[in-house]
Amino acid sequence: MYRLLQGDVGSGKTIVAFLSILHVVEHGFQGALMAPTEILAYQHYLFFKKYENILGIRIALLTSKMQKNIKINIIDDINNGKINIIIGTHALIQSNIKFKNLRLAIIDEQHRFGVYQRLELSKKSPNTDFMVMTATPIPRTLVLTDYGDMDISIIHSKPINRAKIETISVSIPRMNEVIKAISRAIKNNEQIFWVCPLVKDSEKLDLAAAETRQKYLNNIFPNNVAIVHGQMDSRDKENSLLQFSKNEKKILVSTTVIEVGIDIPNATIMIIEHAERFGLAQLHQLRGRIGRGTKNSVCILLYDQKIGEIARERLTVMRETNNGFLISEKDLKLRGAGEILGTKQSGGQMFKILDINIHENLIKIANKNSKMIINRNPNLIGIEGEKLKQLLYLFGQDKAVKLIKSG
């Protein structure tokens, strides 16, 4: 299997992953699930762990920040096949991690990983089936599914009784109106996420922005503002999230660390500051942190009035649809498809003549013909094979074909 599982935020992808891994465990193999953050990996681990004793299997968590002696024992047990299901972060793809009989590798929130990171997990065992999951496929993956080089399964609906999420955009000078909306929500015993802007791809600057915003909000809502960011100690991070999840704090200020893996049904407002700096996938993922309870929710996109045309179009898309797949297709058109036989996950058109938005029918014909050639002559031998090898060489793609297998 080489498959994309696409389903909107909260549609049940984790359940599909769990049942898929159980299927291979039942037949004596191991399954692995890799998540982009410790928070999300730990959440999956707690969910899976509930069924460990009932099913008579062993489930382990592996992250880079674990105590060394615990990590060594887990790595040995993975190698010896004593652990059936391994859930972890990037720690799973380190060279010292050896699986005894890995049969299914799943990557959650696939858009958060690079091509080589995904490829490393799929290479852990020669017979590994591979599945990536996301609400918002990166442009490169979306095109792979169009080509037929990757199978796709779509979860079309969300669980019943899910709340509606309204998305509005508000310019930063109207901040006072947002503060009033927060006051009303707190009086109604509702909770608020406030995500701070991305600042030049620097975690330290992102952190400074979050701390500044926390102080500002704490002056207005004393002792009611928690903070979470990537540079916090794991224990402090858990304490902040626990305070928020228990409704002891009404506002959680954070960097994009909460983009995935946070489930607070009582949170009804998501404020994304300087939303024009975020990509469509990030905006949709962040919006997915609300609307998980029964109350209607609102996502407020705070934007700078000096906004570019593409950024303005992204905000328009967010207001017009909650459908992750439509958002991904729009992202593909805005950002470009990236390199199918390379590592760029988005970017300009890779063809000199063909346009994937116009010539989709030609892509399908070419894909069908290439599969016929591979089925008939997989080693590319003979006159026809030599011509094809030369063609691949001339276009510099002879070594790049294997990169397709990363999704």
* Residue 379: φ, ψ to 5°: -95, 5
Asked if 292 contacts 162 with a C-beta cutoff of 8 angstroms, the reply is yes
pLDDT at 306 over 80: yes
The most confident of the ranges 65-69, 136-140, 244-248, 263-267 is 244-248
Tell me what pLDDT residue 177 has: 94
pLDDT tier for residue 118 given thresholds of 50, 70 and 90:
low
d(CA 295, CA 211): 29
d(CA 249, CA 56): 39
pLDDT at 288 over 90: no
Beta strands in 260-324 (DSSP E): 267-272, 297-303
More confidently predicted of 353 and 321: 321
pLDDT-above-70 percentage for the chain: 82
pLDDT tier for residue 325 given thresholds of 50, 70 and 90:
confident
Tell me what pLDDT residue 206 has: 59
pLDDT at 171 over 90: yes
Number of domains in the chain: 3
Tell me, yes or no, whether 401 lies in a domain.
yes
Shared domain for 293 and 269, answered yes or no, is: yes
Shared domain for 212 and 293, answered yes or no, is: yes
Last residue in a domain, options 272, 307, 342: 307
Q: Of 200-204, 323-327, 344-348, which gets the smallest average pLDDT?
A: 344-348
Q: Of 16-30, 76-90, 112-126, which gets the smallest average pLDDT?
A: 112-126
Average pLDDT of the chain is: 82
Tell me, yes or no, whether 344 lies in a domain.
no
Shared domain for 133 and 183, answered yes or no, is: no
Last residue in a domain, options 130, 155, 180: 155
Shared domain for 121 and 251, answered yes or no, is: no
Q: What is the pTM (predicted TM-score) of this model? A: 0.69
d(CA 21, CA 202): 36
Tell me what pLDDT residue 144 has: 59
pLDDT at 341 over 60: no
Tell me what pLDDT residue 340 has: 46
Shared domain for 144 and 176, answered yes or no, is: no
In Å, what is the CA distance from 141 to each residue of 145, 242, 357? 6, 35, 15
Tell me what pLDDT residue 407 has: 45
d(CA 233, CA 286): 22
Tell me what pLDDT residue 399 has: 59
Tell me, yes or no, whether 79 lies in a domain.
yes
pLDDT tier for residue 259 given thresholds of 50, 70 and 90:
low
Last residue in a domain, options 307, 332, 348: 307
Shared domain for 52 and 151, answered yes or no, is: yes
Tell me, yes or no, whether 351 lies in a domain.
no
How many C-beta atoms lie closer than 10 Å to residue 149's C-beta? 17
More confidently predicted of 278 and 74: 74
Shared domain for 106 and 202, answered yes or no, is: no
Q: Of 61-65, 89-93, 374-378, which gets the smallest average pLDDT?
A: 374-378
Mean pLDDT, range 181-190, rounded to an integer: 93
pLDDT tier for residue 373 given thresholds of 50, 70 and 90:
confident
Q: Can you state the angle between helices 234-245 and 38-49, rounded to 10 degrees?
A: 70
Alpha helices in 175-246 (DSSP H): 175-187, 203-220, 234-245
Shared domain for 133 and 173, answered yes or no, is: no
Tell me what pLDDT residue 366 has: 79
Shared domain for 189 and 256, answered yes or no, is: yes
Shared domain for 253 and 396, answered yes or no, is: no
Mean pLDDT, range 297-316, rounded to an integer: 91
How many C-beta atoms lie closer than 10 Å to residue 232's C-beta? 17
Shared domain for 243 and 293, answered yes or no, is: yes
CATH code of residue 288: 3.40.50.300
Mean pLDDT, range 39-68, rounded to an integer: 91
Tell me, yes or no, whether 399 lies in a domain.
yes
d(CA 6, CA 19): 16
The domain of 302 spans 165-307
d(CA 152, CA 165): 27
Shared domain for 195 and 73, answered yes or no, is: no
Tell me, yes or no, whether 256 lies in a domain.
yes
Three-state DSSP state, 376: helix
Tell me, yes or no, whether 260 lies in a domain.
yes
Question: 390: buried, middle or exposed (CB in 10 Å: 19+, 13-18, 0-12)?
Answer: exposed
Tell me, yes or no, whether 320 lies in a domain.
no
More confidently predicted of 95 and 406: 95
Mean pLDDT, range 51-58, rounded to an integer: 96
